[in-house]
Amino acid sequence: MIEVINDKCVGCGACLKACAYDAIRVTDKLASIDLEKCTLCGACVQACVIRALQWNADLPGAANEKFWKAYVAKHGQKPSSYAAQG
Ligand code: SF4
Ligand code: SF4
């Protein structure tokens, strides 16, 4: 799934504007992603020029596992930028 690197995020809102699924909020100059809405389209990762959003396969928990299963079921494979890392 996509992780917000808190130390890097400056709250510019570019990712929020890029998200067609209303999955991003920016509160107190920090972005957060609603996993129930996020489709892993990757538009926000492209939009964040300071790379405060990154693909991360290592976040713990059942939510992460469920997320990738749903993504692969929908798209057939993991995103190329993720696959390249993994
Ligand atoms: S585009 Fe990057 S820096 Fe700007 S709010 Fe989103 S995550 Fe933060
Ligand atoms: S990956 Fe796509 S759907 Fe998910 S938060 Fe980013 S822009 Fe929105």
Of residues 70 and 57, the one with the higher pLDDT is 70
Structurally, the chain folds into a number of domains equal to 1
Using one digit for the tens of pLDDT, what is the confidence trace for 31-49? 999 988 988 888 999 999 9
- Reported for 72-79, long-range contacts at CB under 8 A and 24+ positions apart, including other chains, are 74/39, 75/40, 79/40, 79/42, 79/55
**71 has pLDDT over 60:** yes
For range 66-76, the mean pLDDT: 81
Q: What CATH number is given to the structural domain containing 76? A: 3.30.70.20
Give the number of the ligand closest to the Cα of residue 23.
2
**81 has pLDDT over 70:** no
Domain that holds residue 67: 2-85
CB of residue 39 inside a 6 A radius of ligand 2: yes
Ligand 1 atom closest to Cα of residue 18 = 1
Q: How far is 64 from 28, CA to CA, in rounded Å?
A: 25
Please report which helix (H) or strand (E) contains residue 46, including its range: helix 43-47
pLDDT at residue 85 in the model:
45
Q: Model pTM? A: 0.77
CB of residue 24 inside a 6 A radius of ligand 2: yes
